[in-house]
Amino acid sequence: MRFMKVRTFLILLAVAALAGSLLALAGCGGQEGATTKEPIRIGVVLSESGANEPLGKPERNAIELFVERLNASGGIKGHPVEVIIKDDQSDSNKAQQAVIELLEQEDVVAVIGSSGTGPTLAMKQECTKRHIPQVCMAAGANIMEGDITWIFRTPPTATEAGKKALEYISEVLKVQRVALLYDTNAFGTDGKNVVEKEASSFGLEVVASEGYQTNDTEETIDTHLTNVMTAKPEVILVWGTNPGPAIIAKRMRDKGINIPYVGSHGIANQQFIQLAGEAANGVVFPAGKMLIYQKVLEPGSPEYEFIKDFDEAYREAYGQPINTFAGHGWDAILIITEALKRVGPSATPEELRDEIERTEGLVGTAGIFNYSAQDHNGLSPDDLVMVEIVNSQWEPAGR
Amino acid sequence: MLDFFRNCPQYLANGMANGCLYILVAMGFNIIYTSTGIINFAQGEFSMFGGLFAYALAVSAGLPIPLAAVLAVLATAAIGGAMERVMIYPLRRAGVLTAIIATIGASIFFKSLGRVFWPSEAYKVPEFTPGTFRLPGATVSRQFLWVVGLTVTCVVLLYFFFNRTKAGRAMRACSVNRQAATLVGINVSRMSLYSFILAAALGGAAGLISSPYASYGMGLEMGVKGFTASVVGGLGNTFGAVVGGLVLGLLEELIPGFLTVVLGVSTGYKGAVAAVLLIVVLLFRPQGLLGRGMVEKV
């Protein structure tokens, strides 16, 4: 009897303890759902106005949407992510000022930015000095010159796109004599440097190379075309942003020049098709797979599903189709938050930087990111596809 | 060398087409300079407005192209007039240099305005008559004929305006001696207004006919080239602009063509031709090829 009493007492005690711990657990869970843990702060500097406005706006949209979705699903181990976004107005000085404010007043663990190469370089200087990891969305080659310890980037650069275009010329078109026409702005010059340096490794010869200016008239550009045609090229490679490539396409058609036209990722937009009209048909250019992901990726593959998810979420939130720049923003915040998930929410900037550098096989919108100590670009030529304009639509080219 | 000569017809046609645009812009510089002594650095932006208005009216609003072109020129002329009344007229006692600096401000303002409403890299302005035709050794767009025709018409009309009409003669009188012109009863400030309206109309016409693409950034190049043409021809000499424009347009195509095709020097910096020509003319013939010796006034 006495024995039984003790046993009952012990059982009751155990049940009480179990209930207590369950209650405590439930309490914990409630706390986690509301993400009242200390937020992780990430600074963002973008060009929401000024010349790079068409880049900065979609980048901001993507970053905000990404963070909203992340926090709704519990943040990073219960810690919500907070982004503090500043506009640099496409101006290097303002970008520098903005990043200093973020680092000194907001106590951010990493920064994203900027949209253009100039402001990105200004930010790089500060981030390198203060040891804060920076993920940029600009493609200028000179960003990765000098000390690259603290800077990473998301868009493909002239190196990947140039190699992809040269590979297409040599392996699919199977011709050798390349005439290069490039815009003398930063975008075109980066492409020219890559093409002239890499052509020989693809067995190609650049037989003529001419630079034009962004605002040149149709006649002026025609003269450049006339000049390069005297070298009897077998393909014309055009490296520039609108409208120059559209004028060249139109002029080639007008003059009855029937050799293939290969462009750069600078014309991976609807505007080129609008500007060049009929003459756009037959033009081939390298672009991220996202541009025509339904046509080049297998449904069910991780890349396809990732882009589809992004596409649907972005459309639903903003009522607009996704574009490359929104993708660059999405990838930038993805890379930082994935590294934070691995290293833990209380990581120092140094630990976070090391973890970003260890990013491997991370599926993003622009391709699969692999960073290493030597390579902070992350992408490879295989992340791009060659796209052909057929009846004013984008289709996979060759192959 | 043979290749170069074979390309020459194309170079000449391209140079002519660009030259005509430079003529229109340069005449705008000259008209304002002769009647006010001001070098209007916003002249290139008038071309930007011409091109962007033509796009807005013809493509966005769907008007027929001839109507859109006329309205775009009128709208640009109105902007020129407004600029004179709002900015230049209040500065009439402040000296020419102040007004010149103010035009730099206007240029920045106009460009920003263009960017606010037309932010993309380029807009396609429809051609008056699409298509091309082939000449021996050259392919020329049909638009080329419109460019040449419009330029010749403008030059002839301006000739009659300055020599046969009262307003034109009064404007010339202002350029000779403003004080004397006032004394004989010419309303100098009204002449200044007319000159801005006329210059804006010419610039606007150049902008909408120039190339099938207009953008907010096109003003700088148009302005620099037009200014060079007007200095080469003789600043203030309205018809010196014709010579200056053609010389600049042709040299700009022939020199890089020769360098590339014959000497094999690849030159992406054609803009240097205008700069070198400007420096050479200013060093050796500052009054311009057909100069009037007006440059000392600056």
| CB-based contact, B132 to chain A, within 8 Å | yes
CA within 13 Å, CB half, B111:
19
Domain boundaries, chain B: 2-297
pLDDT of residue B72 exceeding 70, the answer is: yes
Residue percentage of chain B with pLDDT more than 90: 54
Q: What per-residue confidence (pLDDT) applies to A185?
A: 87
In a domain, A347, yes or no: yes
Q: CA-to-CA distance for B192 and B190, rounded, in angstroms?
A: 5
In a domain, A34, yes or no: no
Q: What per-residue confidence (pLDDT) applies to A12?
A: 56
Whether A215 and B215 lie within 8 Å, measured CB to CB: yes
In a domain, A346, yes or no: yes
Q: What per-residue confidence (pLDDT) applies to B3?
A: 84
| CB-based contact, A78 to chain B, within 8 Å | no
Q: What per-residue confidence (pLDDT) applies to B267?
A: 65
In a domain, A25, yes or no: no
How confident is the model over B93-111, as pLDDT tens digits? 888 899 999 999 999 999 9
In a domain, A71, yes or no: yes
Asked if A57 and A145 sit in the same domain, the reply is: yes
Q: What per-residue confidence (pLDDT) applies to A26?
A: 47
Rounded mean pLDDT of A368-396? Answer: 94
Q: What per-residue confidence (pLDDT) applies to B168?
A: 87
Asked if A355 and A260 sit in the same domain, the reply is: no
Asked if A244 and A391 sit in the same domain, the reply is: yes
Asked if A250 and A391 sit in the same domain, the reply is: yes
Residue found under tokens 């080049």: A296
Whether A220 and B220 lie within 8 Å, measured CB to CB: no
Nearest CA in chain A to B22: A217
Whether A226 and B11 lie within 8 Å, measured CB to CB: yes
**Nearest CB partner across the interface for A226, out of B10, B267, B270:** B10
CATH code of residue A278: 3.40.50.2300
pLDDT of residue B12 exceeding 90, the answer is: yes
**Nearest CB partner across the interface for B213, out of A222, A243, A256:** A243
How confident is the model over B246-259, as pLDDT tens digits? 999 999 989 888 88
Structure-block tokens of residue B193: 């207004």
pLDDT of residue A31 exceeding 70, the answer is: no
Asked if A286 and A331 sit in the same domain, the reply is: no
pLDDT of residue A21 exceeding 60, the answer is: no
Asked if A179 and A288 sit in the same domain, the reply is: yes
How confident is the model over A271-327, as pLDDT tens digits? 899 989 999 999 999 999 999 999 999 999 999 999 999 999 999 999 999 999 999
ipTM given for this complex: 0.80
Tally of structural domains, chain A: 2
Structure-block tokens of residue B116: 């606010």
Question: Is B173 in contact with B181 (CB distance < 8 Å)?
Answer: yes
Nearest CA in chain A to B259: A227
DSSP assignment letter at B91 = G
How confident is the model over A117-165, as pLDDT tens digits? 999 999 999 999 999 999 999 999 899 999 999 999 999 999 999 999 9
Asked if A271 and A192 sit in the same domain, the reply is: yes
Q: What per-residue confidence (pLDDT) applies to B157?
A: 93
Q: Which domain holds residue A209?
A: 159-293+384-396
**Nearest CB partner across the interface for B217, out of A182, A215, A256:** A215
Asked if A116 and A236 sit in the same domain, the reply is: no
Chain A neighbours among B 237-256 (CB < 8 Å)?
252-253, 256
Asked if A91 and A140 sit in the same domain, the reply is: yes
Q: What per-residue confidence (pLDDT) applies to B297?
A: 41
| CB-based contact, A142 to chain B, within 8 Å | no
Question: Is A183 in contact with A193 (CB distance < 8 Å)?
Answer: no
Asked if A164 and A288 sit in the same domain, the reply is: yes
How confident is the model over B190-241, as pLDDT tens digits? 999 999 999 999 999 999 988 678 889 889 989 999 999 999 998 888 788 9
Residue percentage of chain A with pLDDT more than 90: 77
Instruction: Write down the CATH number for the domain with range B2-297.
Output: 1.10.3470
Residue found under tokens 């920076």: A134
Q: Where are the alpha helices (DSSP H) in chain B?
A: 2-36, 43-55, 65-83, 96-117, 143-164, 166-176, 178-183, 188-210, 218-233, 240-261, 271-284
pLDDT of residue A177 exceeding 70, the answer is: yes
Phi and psi at B132, nearest 5°, equal: -135, 165
Asked if A240 and A370 sit in the same domain, the reply is: no
Q: What per-residue confidence (pLDDT) applies to B298?
A: 37
- Report how far Cα A257 is from the mean position of its chain's Cα atoms: 35
Question: Is A170 in contact with A199 (CB distance < 8 Å)?
Answer: no
How do strand A205-212 and strand A235-239 relate by DSSP bridges?
A: unpaired
Residue B6 with chain A: CB contacts under 8 Å: 230
pLDDT of residue B295 exceeding 60, the answer is: no
User: Which residues pair with residue A136 across a beta bridge?
Assistant: A153
Whether B14 and A223 lie within 8 Å, measured CB to CB: yes
**How many inter-chain contacts (A to B, CB under 8 Å) are there?**
107
Whether B260 and A227 lie within 8 Å, measured CB to CB: yes
Q: What per-residue confidence (pLDDT) applies to A310?
A: 96
CA distances from A109 to A8, A43, A324, B245 (A): 55, 8, 26, 58
Q: What is the CA radius of gyration of chain B?
A: 19
| CB-based contact, A278 to chain B, within 8 Å | no
Q: What per-residue confidence (pLDDT) applies to A5?
A: 59
How confident is the model over A49-70, as pLDDT tens digits? 888 888 999 999 999 999 999 9
Asked if A153 and A174 sit in the same domain, the reply is: no
Going A239 to A245 to A251 to A256, the CA torsion angle's sign is positive
Residue A210 with chain B: CB contacts under 8 Å: 260, 266-268
How confident is the model over A77-130, as pLDDT tens digits? 999 999 999 999 889 999 999 999 999 999 899 999 899 999 999 999 999 999
pLDDT of residue A27 exceeding 50, the answer is: no
In a domain, A260, yes or no: yes
